[in-house]
Structure 1
Amino acid sequence: MNTHLITKVCGLSHAENMLKVDKLDVNFIGLIFYPKSPRFVTTKSLPPTEAKKVGVFVNTSINEILSHIKSYNLSAVQLHGQESIELISNLRQAILNDPQLSFIEIWKAIPIKNKSDFKQCAAYEHHVDKFVFDTKTNVLGGSGIQFNWSNLEAYNLSTNFLLSGGISAEDADKICQIQHSKLIGVDLNSKFEIQPGLKDIKKLSIFTSQLKAYENSIV
């Protein structure tokens, strides 16, 4: 792993809770714009945060994505459905055509169960800025289930990735032991919840503190 892992806390939908998470010095806050998700963001007004905001979309139109980028001051777009390369290319062009949005990153979530699942990444290589490796299940995210992290050795492309899927407060040490040069961060969700959309600040604090302690020990 890199000597510093970025932290994304996903699935926040309560303003006060979001501000508490932000005080933990996390890097990204994930907002889910998928109506079928129990963590779906319905409010039109969310507080500004030091952490950058990532919008999570599932098979959403480009116009709607662009609208949410502006409305919620997003810094990145995470595509969590069956988005085509054509859609991603068109989204990228639309972002580049607007000087106010040119900094926006595009991330692609890839569902993983076996080593062979990493083959699907090749089609998206050079089209997205980051991958998010989530556990392949019958639901889209927030399953609380981990895939076998030893399978990460099968990933050999150049695009960096965040590890997602069932990470808990007890997994910090295990994650720190992963030796993969393209692992740059973690995506935390359901194992840190009091209820869908509401995060447990104590659990998040324990996890982030353990990560920092490990990183400081190897600097």
Structure 2
Amino acid sequence: MKTVTGLFDNYSDARAAVSALEDLGVPSDDISIVSNNVGDRYGTANESNAAEGAGTGAGVGAAIGGVGGLLTGLGVMAIPGVGPVVAAGWLAATAAGAAAGAVAGGAAGGIIGAMTESGVPEEHAHVYAEGVRRGGAVVTARVDNALYVDAEAILRRGSWVDPDQRRASYGEQGWTRFDETLNPYTADEVEKERIRLQSLR
């Protein structure tokens, strides 16, 4: 098994990637999505289908989106330094469990540890976590070696974010790494970041 990960600036592209991975034959249990949900932008507060079990102490809420597979199990949780997210899958559960069991001042945030333990390079994990903090979404999948090339191609479609380029963009603002002790972005800050990123394209 190998791990493939993609960062997207918007939830709809991340959702499309999840669906494409499932269509490729990657089991839903091996796919995760974590997307910023500041201001409840995806309307989860008004949904009624509760999705339980995304992680210990995660405050999992209502399911949203999708007609089958992983996307029917999306729930609401909070990740230190990132804030409110809609999430589903093993990465969300691992991040939530790590956050719940973390000792103050201990290892890097739950989401960083969850990604690096699954094989994501640490320098990329910090970019992915910061990307979610700033309004984006990350999709991670554990795939059989035979599906690796196709799965990676799926995650590089459309508005996939190159982690090296994004690191450079964040670095221009003085950023060096994800810091779970910082306040999550507000809805206004997320919107300003979206505008900034669009101006760089």
TM-score between the two structures when normalised by the length of structure 2: 0.30
- Larger-Rg structure: 1
| Larger fraction in helix | 2
TM-score between the two structures when normalised by the length of structure 1: 0.28
Higher relative contact order (CA 8 A, sep 6+): 2
